A = this chain, B = another copy of it.
Amino acid sequence: MTTISVLLVDDHTVVRSGLKALLGTQADIVVVGEAASGEEALEAAQQHSPAVVLMDLAMGAGMDGIEAIKQLRQRNPKQAVIVFTTYDSDADIVRAVDAGAMGYLLKDAAPEEIFAAVRGAVQGKSVMSAPVASRLFQQLRNPDEILTPREAELLSLLTEGLSNRDLGKRLFISEATVKTHLAHIYAKLGVETRAAAIATAIRREGMR
């Protein structure tokens, strides 16, 4: 029997312990490393060459989960990464899948679901929690309403309350471009003002 090596990435100690305890009950799964940030994850992946990386998207400081996924996949395109996070935000799902995530699990997933996702990932299958799948499905059914990765990025910064100027600075684009993106976002969300966009975004996305 082949054992599947797993790297855990999460800034919460208890979540790592929990996953370790849970995965430890499976004979064919071995946790070979842990990391508390994106940077640590890259190092640990290099060192342990895990078959699967189980990663939280929200990391307290430094590199965020999406960026970590991108870099992991860049260094090793075959690297299987499963997102394991608390919220099923539309934007996060799209960006994670875009960055190369093989699966998307919510933290309240049943243990069996987690095991299945890990085993599936090494075979190239992608597994996602039911709520996540339904959101993705909805997005596929309504292609007009999908935000592009860039738009999603902008929307996420928008919900922090930044001005157009600040958005431009943060994304290294001109204010004109910011306005263009915003106009597209408003159209897709069916709103007219940034206030409504923020409200819609936050209520629609995982933050409840």
Residues of chain A touching chain B, judged by Cβ–Cβ distance below 8 Å, are 11-22, 60, 86, 107-111, 114, 158-163, 191, 193-200, 202, 207-208
Contacts and interface: CB of A to CB of B under 8 A. Distances in A.
The 4 closest A-B pairs by CB, nearest first: A18-B18, A161-B196, A14-B18, A17-B18
Identical chains in the assembly: 2
Nearest to A36: B108
A179 to B, nearest CB: 14
A200 B202 CA distance: 12
A21 B22 CA distance: 10
Given A86-B86, A202-B202, A107 B14 contact: yes
Nearest to A20: B21
A19 B111 CA distance: 16
Contacts of A208: 207
A90 to B, nearest CB: 15
Residue from A11, A17, A158, A159 having most chain B Cβ neighbours under 10 A: A17
8 contacts: A12-B18, A13-B18, A13-B22, A17-B18, A60-B108, A159-B199, A198-B199, A202-B202
A162 B110 contact: no
A27 B193 CA distance: 55
A15 B199 contact: no
Contact of A18 (B15, B60, B108, B158): B15
Contacts of A158: 195
A16 to B, nearest CB: 7
Contacts of A17: 17-19, 21-22
Contact of A161 (B86, B163, B197): B197
